[in-house]
């Protein structure tokens, strides 16, 4: 059987083996998907060892996504501008790095939740690896406005400065989280503040009536801190990032196996867990 793995530290919590196991079952593909704990100072050796032992592909999770972009032999797709890799594919002996987060996010919003981003005023919170992975696919949807707000403003400014070539008609701007003003149609939280229980990242007026999407996801029917806060602050609708998690995995599966798996059943399964 072809072997795949998710590499991270920690990695025990990862849902990727369940998701890819379900994709393989549905598609009639025979694969083995495992969790690979890499020591913090030994990502390169761990991944090289996995491929040397006939591994066919790897998903990369915290904290190795930037290191993975340096380790691969070339970058393709959104990974080129992001400099962040969450999927490694063995292409005829060459290790190629992709970033499927943006495709996953946009697909969850526009296909699963049937919300257009075209012409919308979009606020993106955060300027870390996840934000870098999603900005270009967001711009490809042609929003009217894309504002990136980060706790440390310099990172938001650097991210926006790198977008010039992709922006087309979208007005792009950067500011600090505590400087956000104005109204938005869509607010996407790509910070990790929720992992520390923090959801109140900006003034309530900025989310009132907006569709608020949190990249962090919650178990079962629970709400993430950001979704709970946004609901209380008058958001028009909220969503956590479980759909994105499944869609980014589906894109990785397609890159590895040439088959795009159906995702609705897997999302429902994870919601029930």
Among 198, 204, 222, 268, binds ligand NAP (CB under 6 A): 198
175 versus 201: smaller Cβ distance to ligand NAP = 201
Contact by Cβ (8 Å): 146, 211: no
Point out which residues pair with 211 in neighbouring strands. 186, 237
Backbone phi, psi, residue 30, to 5°? -100, 105
193 near ligand NAP, judged by CB under 6 A: yes
219 near ligand NAP, judged by CB under 6 A: no
Contact by Cβ (8 Å): 61, 32: no
Backbone phi, psi, residue 180, to 5°? -65, 125
Among 216, 235, 267, 270, binds ligand NAP (CB under 6 A): 216
- Minimum distance from residue 52 beta carbon to ligand NAP (Å): 27
Among the residue ranges 1-9, 47-55, 71-79, 151-159, the one whose residues contact ligand NAP (CB under 6 A): 151-159
9 near ligand NAP, judged by CB under 6 A: no
210 versus 249: smaller Cβ distance to ligand NAP = 249
Stretch 63-102 residues interacting with ligand NAP (CB under 6 A): 101
Stretch 231-270 residues interacting with ligand NAP (CB under 6 A): 241, 244-245, 248
Give yes or no: 65 in active site: yes
Q: Give the Cβ contact number of residue 250 at 10 Å.
A: 23
152 near ligand NAP, judged by CB under 6 A: yes
Q: Find how far residue 100's CA is from the centre of its chain.
A: 7
**3-state secondary structure (DSSP) of residue 125:** strand
Q: DSSP secondary structure string, 177-239? A: GGG--S--SEEEE-SSGGGGT----S-GGGTTT-EEEESS--STTPPPHHHHHHHHTT-SEEE
**Distance, first Cα to last Cα, the chain:** 27
Pattern 108-127, ligand NAP, x by CB under 6 A = ------------------xx
Element holding 250 (H helix, E strand): helix 242-257
**Closest residue to bound ligand NAP by CB:** 128
8 near ligand NAP, judged by CB under 6 A: no
Burial class (CB in 10 A: 0-12, 13-18, 19+), 219: exposed
- Minimum distance from residue 216 beta carbon to ligand NAP (Å): 5
- Alpha-carbon distance of 148 to 131, in angstroms, equals 9
150 near ligand NAP, judged by CB under 6 A: yes
Residue found by looking up tokens 């979704």 in the block? 227
139 versus 245: smaller Cβ distance to ligand NAP = 245
190 near ligand NAP, judged by CB under 6 A: yes
175 versus 177: smaller Cβ distance to ligand NAP = 177
Question: Which residues form the catalytic set?
Answer: 65
Residues that bind ligand NAP (CB under 6 A): 101, 104, 126-131, 150-152, 155, 177, 190-193, 195-196, 198, 201, 215-217, 241, 244-245, 248
């Amino acid at each position: 059987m072809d072997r795949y793995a998710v590499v991270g530290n920690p990695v025990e919590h990862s849902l990727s083996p369940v998701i890819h196991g379900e994709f393989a079952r549905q598609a009639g593909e025979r694969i083995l998907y495992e969790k690979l704990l890499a020591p913090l100072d030994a990502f390169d050796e761990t991944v090289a060892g996995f491929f040397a032992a006939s591994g066919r592909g790897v998903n990369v999770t915290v904290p190795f996504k930037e290191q993975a972009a340096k380790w691969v032999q070339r970058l393709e797709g959104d990974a080129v501008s992001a400099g962040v890799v969450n999927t490694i594919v063995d292409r005829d002996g060459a290790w190629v790095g992709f970033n499927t987060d943006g495709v996953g996010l946009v697909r969850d919003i526009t296909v699963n939740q049937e919300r257009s981003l075209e012409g919308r005023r979009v606020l993106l919170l955060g300027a870390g690896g996840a934000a870098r992975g999603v900005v270009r696919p967001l711009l490809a949807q042609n929003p009217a406005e894309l504002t990136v707000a980060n706790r440390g403003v310099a990172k938001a400014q650097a991210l926006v400065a790198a977008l010039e070539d992709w922006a087309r008609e979208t007005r792009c701007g950067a500011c600090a989280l505590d400087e956000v003003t104005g109204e938005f149609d869509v607010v996407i939280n790509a910070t990790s503040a929720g992992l520390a229980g923090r959801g109140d990242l900006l003034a309530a007026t900025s989310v009132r009536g907006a569709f608020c999407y949190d990249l962090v996801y919650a178990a079962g029917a629970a709400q993430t801190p950001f979704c709970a806060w946004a609901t209380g602050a008058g958001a028009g609708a909220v969503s956590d990032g479980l759909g994105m998690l499944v869609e980014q995995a589906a894109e990785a599966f397609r890159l590895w196996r040439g088959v795009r798996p159906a995702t609705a059943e897997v999302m429902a399964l994870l919601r029930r867990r």
